[in-house]
Amino acid sequence: MRLDIFTQIPHAFAWLTEHPPVATVLGTELELRLFNYRDTTPLRAGQVDDEPYGGGAGMVLRVDVVAAALEAVYGSARAQRVVALTPGGRPLDQPLVEELAAEPALTLLSSRFEGFDERIVEHLCTDAVSIGPYVLSGGELPAMVVLDAVARRLPGALTPGSGERESFSAELEGGVEYPQYTRPAEFRGWAVPDVLLSGDHGRIETWRREQSRTRSAR
């Protein structure tokens, strides 16, 4: 996949590219490009936003700035999905992550302050996505959330087997994962469930499925 992220803070993504899963697939299954709206803005002095029509606090990311940024990279033709990260978008869940991870190329647009001029979302984007019903100060963290969630679904990102059986996977019927434990078997009187120490793989499997179903029903 080729993933393009447009942001006002490209350097914010550095740490994420240095650690798995992004680092694992970078250069093979994932090509990541970061673009700064300021580098292609048609306005003077790197201006990218402006005051909202109708008044009100804050600054709004300009449509001409985003159009120029997209055209500088893609020209006038653009076949891939362009996703605006915005609190009012489609909620990000695992099915949407799988959908996005299956795309050969994807573009994420982040904003800051008061957000996007609505014409960006209407005319320059194919999707609007929210990472949850709360407001962050910018689209960089949401873009990182999408990047991480998508990267771990790419081939080779995870150790074999670990990505097929986790929360929201088909293996767990879309439910959340069963509880996991490791050594020591007892700590401060808190014991690991006996079944996990039994060596009986059939009972362990049954117990895990029950736990997953019970937790998912909450």
Of the residues 76, 137, 180, 182, which one makes contact with ligand SAM according to CB under 6 A: 137
Binding segment for ligand SAM (CB under 6 A), chosen from 112-120, 161-169, 180-188, 200-208, is 112-120
- Please give the structure tokens belonging to residue 121: 């979302």
Q: Are 35 and 3 in contact (CB under 8 A)?
A: no
Q: Is 40 in the site for ligand SAM (CB under 6 A)?
A: no
Alpha carbons 125 and 158: distance in angstroms, whole number: 31
Of 53 and 190, nearer to ligand SAM (C-beta) is: 53
Q: Is 208 in the site for ligand SAM (CB under 6 A)?
A: no
Q: Is 29 in the site for ligand SAM (CB under 6 A)?
A: no
Instruction: State the CB neighbour count (10 A cutoff) for residue 84.
Output: 28
Q: Is 95 in the site for ligand SAM (CB under 6 A)?
A: no
Beta carbon of residue 215, minimum distance to ligand SAM (angstroms, whole number): 25
Beta carbon of residue 129, minimum distance to ligand SAM (angstroms, whole number): 7
The residue at minimum Cβ distance from ligand SAM is 139
Among 107, 7, 118, 9, which Cα is nearest to 60's? 118
CA terminus-to-terminus distance, the chain? 36
Question: CA 93 → CA 7, 67, 69, 98, 103, distances in Å?
Answer: 23, 28, 28, 9, 16
Of the residues 10, 20, 52, 87, which one makes contact with ligand SAM according to CB under 6 A: 87
Q: Is 21 in the site for ligand SAM (CB under 6 A)?
A: no
In the DSSP assignment, the letter for residue 51 is P
Alpha carbons 99 and 92: distance in angstroms, whole number: 11
Q: Is 97 in the site for ligand SAM (CB under 6 A)?
A: no
Of 139 and 175, nearer to ligand SAM (C-beta) is: 139
Of 112 and 153, nearer to ligand SAM (C-beta) is: 112
- Please give the structure tokens belonging to residue 208: 């895990």
Q: What angle do CA 122, 141, 178 make, to 5 degrees?
A: 110
How many residues touch ligand SAM (CB under 6 A)?
20
H or E element, residue 141: helix 140-151
Q: Is 36 in the site for ligand SAM (CB under 6 A)?
A: no
Q: Is 135 in the site for ligand SAM (CB under 6 A)?
A: yes
Residues contributing to the site for ligand SAM (CB under 6 A): 85-88, 110-112, 114-116, 130-132, 134-139, 142
